[in-house]
Every structure is written in structure tokens, then in C-alpha cells.
Structure 1
Amino acid sequence: MLNKISTIGLGGSCHWCTEAIFLSLKGVISVQQGWISSDEAPEFFSEAVMVTFDEQQISLAILISIHLHTHSCTSSHSMRDKYRSAIYTFDDHQMSVAGEALEHLQKEFPDPIITEVLNFHEFKLNKTEYLNYYYSNPEKPFCQNIVKPKLLELLNKFSKVVDNDRLQHLR
């Protein structure tokens, strides 16, 4: 059986955090962090990641659920321009799955989800020294204080899809 490899763009919080979260999942082949823009606003870039994954190992719906549960998907805070809460899709199928997932997941949040489903336009990769930030620098204060709690939440809520080898240092 052939693997179905797909890519989705996800934005909502610091790309170092988002990168670490999605690198910690079974079925995720690669995560690139940087800035993404949408067809709806091609000149507006915000921090985000491009996640390439094997749909036979992890579904887009699960990735979206993880995305919503690991950033402030209901908050219109002051940093929303930098950290746009969005799912950047590449085709009508992804657009449909993302819309249905948001509708279905709303019941898990007391406030309205503000995450937008947008058409992907462009991606700009971050500087090399910032790639794989958490796994290259787990002892740094930012990683200990900001990223690690999100990974612990990931272990708690999504243990069935977590790459246990990757997160063994947290157990």
C-alpha cells in the first residue's frame, strides 16, 4: 500500500513551540518553521510551520486537534498579527477537512475558536541556526519554560500519537 504524504501549514504561536510539538508526533515526516502568508493576504506573513505527514499514520483531523489544543486558538491577544491562528491548506479537500474539524472541535472549547482556514500562498524558512530549536537547545530557558509545558500537555492529551522515543527525556 502506498503512503499518502501531505503537507499542511499551521500557525498560532511561536514557531519554535509549534515545530517541537509536531516533530514529536508519529507519522510526521518533517516540520519546517518560518513565516507563511495566505492567498487572502499574500503580503502578510506570520510565524508558522509546514508539516509534512503520512496520512496513513496520522490524520489531518488529529493534527488540527493537536494544533488547537497547543495554542490559544480562542484568544485575540495583542500578538495575533505575529502569531496568526490559522490552518494553511493546499487544496479543496484539506479546506473541507479543516473546516469540519474546527466545527467538530468547537465543543471542546468554552469560547469561540478564532482559527482561520486559509489558502496557502508562500512560505519563508527561518534561519538555519533557529531550525529544530527545541531539540537542539532543550536546556535553554525558553525551551524549559515555554516549550516543555506544551510538550508535557501533548504527552498528556495525545499520548497515542506521540513519538515516545522523541519525548523520552520528559518521562
Structure 2
Amino acid sequence: MIEKIAFGGGCHWCTEAVFQSLIGVEIVEQGFVASTGANDTFSEAVVVHFDKEKISLRELLTIHLHTHASTSEHRMRVKYRSAVYAFSAAQIDQVNSELAVLRKDFEKKLVIKVLPFRAFRPSEEQFRIYYYNDPEKPFCKTYIQPKLDRIAGKFPDKLKNRS
């Protein structure tokens, strides 16, 4: 069964490539997500459509936490909100439950927010599939490839074969 959830953390080019590289992730929509209340502005994020029979929500959360600055409250957090955007109250509960367990893997406090999904605005076409369209770009080699290398080192069984 295909489910969806949205993630924000760093630039959406990086986040998109991370999730596109994973077994069980069927679609990654790159763009901007807004929530409600104090988080109602759009922030860079991706909507991930995944097959929960092939990759679990916990695995997605774990990889997300390890591929962005999930313990750093830096000056760019408005643009790069560290967040999980849930599509239902039940999904919010599930994410909070999983994060309660995953927090133990980090020495510093996680800054990630669990928020209700409100709206999505896609990136311009020319910026989508950014990494896989040209992995030799300097930005890709400097910022995205190290994240993919981290996944290969920590979660090698979750990577799609892209050869």
C-alpha cells in the first residue's frame, strides 16, 4: 500500500535526492510545504510516496534525521524547517511515537517538528530531479553526494541500485 508523508530539513534538492535513492520510495515531489499556525509559511520540503511493505515510516524517519542537521537550530530554519508533515492525526501520532524511540540515538536534542500538512507548492520544473539529472554539478558533489554516501554507509540495504 502506498502512503505519503512530507519531510523538510535542508534544501529540497538534497532532501529529494535522499528519498529518491531509497528502495520503497515510489514518488518524490519537490517543492514547498506549509503547515498551520506559526508554521503556515511555505518552507522547502518534499512529499514522499512510499510503499510501507518495502520501507517503513521508522526507516524513513531514521534516514531523514541522519541526513540533515536535525539537532541544529540555525538561522536558516525558516527556509529549511526541520519537520515531518503528516497527512492525518493518526500519522502525527505514529510519527511522534517513532521519534520518541529515535531520539535516543542522538546526544543533542532534536529540533524536528511534527506538523499537520496544509499545502504544497511544487518547485519549478527545471529544479526537479536535481541531483539525478546532473550529479556532476558542483552543488551535487559538495552537498548531496555526502548525504548519499552517509546512507550507503549506514543503510546500504535501503539504497536503490542506480547503475
SS in 2 for 1:117: strand
**Pairwise CA RMSD:** 1.0
Match in the other structure for 2:139: 142
1:48 to 2:45 alignment? yes
SS in 1 for 2:42: strand
Separation (CA, whole Å) in 1 of partners of 2:106 and 2:40: 31
1:161 to 2:158 alignment? yes
Matches within 5 A, 1:75-114: 75-114=72-111
Count of residues in correspondence between the two structures: 163
Separation (CA, whole Å) in 1 of partners of 2:134 and 2:56: 29
Separation (CA, whole Å) in 2 of partners of 1:40 and 1:110: 30
Match in the other structure for 1:69: 66
- Is the 1:74–1:112 contact (alpha carbons within 8 Å) kept by the matching residues of 2? yes
SS in 1 for 2:118: strand
The amino acid of 1:32's aligned partner reads E
- Is the 1:9–1:88 contact (alpha carbons within 8 Å) kept by the matching residues of 2? yes
SS in 1 for 2:120: strand
Unaligned residue ranges in structure 2 (runs of 5+): none
Matches within 5 A, 1:22-33: 22-33=19-30
The offset of 1:64, in angstroms, is: 0.7
Separation (CA, whole Å) in 2 of partners of 1:93 and 1:159: 30
User: Percent identity between the aligned chains?
Assistant: 46
Q: After superposition, give the CA deviation of every residue in 1:73-93 in whole Å (9 maximum; x if it has no partner).
A: 110011111000000001122
The amino acid of 2:115's aligned partner reads L
The amino acid of 1:150's aligned partner reads K
Separation (CA, whole Å) in 1 of partners of 2:121 and 2:90: 24
- Is the 1:65–1:101 contact (alpha carbons within 8 Å) kept by the matching residues of 2? no
Q: After superposition, give the CA deviation of every residue in 1:14-48 in whole Å (9 maximum; x if it has no partner).
A: 10000000000000001011100012346411000
Match in the other structure for 1:9: 6
Unaligned residue ranges in structure 1 (runs of 5+): none
